[in-house]
Amino acid sequence: MALPFDAGEAFARDKPALHPCPHLDGGFGCTIHHHLTGAGYRGCAIYDCRGAGQRVMTEVFPGADWRRDPGLRAPLAEAFARLRGIHDALELLEAAGALVLPPGLVAERRALVALFHPPADWTQAGLADFDLAAARRRLAGFLRALKDHVPGPGAG
């Protein structure tokens, strides 16, 4: 429902944001999931929300149903976009955990994980108050600092 798509190589038809996919069934499942690529929806087959959609529906808006309350569509989509950005950051931080880093960068990685993954569940207010732009700037600085600690091609 949240994301738009344009007809083309990855999608067989246009779908505006905040509108349900025409292949969504009554239980919020996909009626063509077993043959997405053949039906022209390769974009759906390769997309990964990294669990952000599930967390929005279980933590941020538990029990919400945008079909019964269409006014929830925009807040759900906003929460999804913010949580997807948070999950992207956590994925990068997880990958950085495999590097051999000096103690200062290890500490900054841990602090960033805590920043992007607070001990309590996300709430609508918590997501709205979270300064995602500032957190991303801090993450970008950390990622730049990793350049001397990432093995080059052929290293192993």
CB atoms near residue 13 (< 10 Å): 13
* 71 and 56 co-located in one domain: yes
- Per-residue burial over 119-141, b if 16 or more Cβ lie within 10 Å, else e, is eeebebeebeebeeeebeebbee
Q: Kindly state whether residues 88 and 110 are assigned to the same domain.
A: yes
Can you give the residue range of the structural domain that contains 24?
A: 1-47
What mean pLDDT, rounded, does the chain reach?
A: 93
Q: Do 59 and 118 lie in a common domain?
A: yes
Could you tell me if 43 and 5 are in contact, meaning their C-beta atoms sit under 8 angstroms apart? yes
| Model pLDDT for residues 118-133, shown as the tens digit of each residue | 878 899 999 999 999 9
Round to whole Å and give the CA distance between 131 and 94.
Answer: 21
How many angstroms separate the CA atoms of 139 and 135, rounded?
6
The per-residue pLDDT for 155 is 57
Same domain, 22 and 66: no
pTM (predicted TM-score)? 0.86
Cα distance between residue 131 and residue 145, in whole Å: 22
Give the pLDDT confidence score for residue 38 in this predicted structure.
Answer: 95
- Quick one: 43 and 76 in the same domain? no
